[in-house]
Amino acid sequence: MARGYFIAGNWKMHKTRAEAAALARELVAALADGGHKYLVAPSFTALETVAALVRGSNILLGAQNCAVEEEGAHTGEVSVLQLKDLGVQTVILGHSERRHIYKEDDGLVNRKARLALKHGLDVILCVGELLEEREAGKAEAVCRQQTVEGLKGISAAELPRVTIAYEPVWAIGTGKTATPEDADAIHAYIRKVIGELYGSAAAESIVIQYGGSVKPDNAAALMAKENIDGALVGGASLRADTFVPIARF
């Protein structure tokens, strides 16, 4: 597949610096000859530690969020400039936990995405429907809205620095994975939306990860689907013995 696979680990609010360092060391060794694109996203507190360990490896460094402004009176927030200073290359935005626990809306996610891109960071833009939205037949509509609104004002020249992660909220951390067929259908739909916005070449080349209870035993079946180009992994990214088999599926 021309697009290439992109496997990312979102460590969420886990790990001290020592724990993060231990995992980063294991992954650098285990994935040195891995054939895909890789990223780990530790907590802010472990970014500097992990940056030093993944530098020069084939594992990119990601952050899990960023502030909507470059600097200023924003107690508790972390700016893209500070992330860049630590060696962060990519920022995950619009994760369902940010949207649903911390009430981030599409407008805010979009402003963060544009700011990150402006400062040279790549973006993983997460989209995905709640269970009640899926049951009401609204999965496509929700993903369309989050994709269209999230990408507003992002140019065709910037789009290659954006990865979309489709993460059905009901599959995150629940052990319930979307079937490869159901996931692929939404991925195809998101690709169609990208085509409407940016044209067919952009639609063909955008990388769309699946996220939501990706495990060693379901990764290969998901990745075999035409429109699934990688994974954003939460729980199974916290240990080398579960992340490495996914990354080397």
Q: How far is CA 215 from CA 8, 162, 190, 228, in A?
A: 13, 24, 23, 15
The site map against ligand PGA for 159-198 (x = CB under 6 A) is --------x----xx-------------------------
208 binds ligand PGA (CB under 6 A): no
- Whether 95 is catalytic: yes
106 binds ligand PGA (CB under 6 A): no
- Whether 100 is catalytic: no
- To ligand PGA, the closest distance from the beta carbon of 55 in angstroms equals 24
211 binds ligand PGA (CB under 6 A): yes
Q: Which two tokens stand for residue 136?
A: 């009401």
Numbers of helices and strands, H then E, in the chain: 11, 8
- Choose the catalytic residue: 36, 95, 129, 187: 95
Residue 126, beta-bridge partner list: 165
Residue 166, beta-bridge partner list: 127, 210
Q: How far apart are CA 114 and CA 66, in angstroms?
A: 11
Of 187 and 203, CB closest to ligand PGA: 187
8 Å CB contact between 223 and 230: yes
User: Which residue do the tokens 């075999």 mark?
Assistant: 224
Q: Which residue is nearest to ligand PGA (CB)?
A: 234
- Residues at the site binding ligand PGA, with contacts judged by CB under 6 A: 10, 167, 172-173, 211-214, 232-236
- Give the active site residues: 95, 167
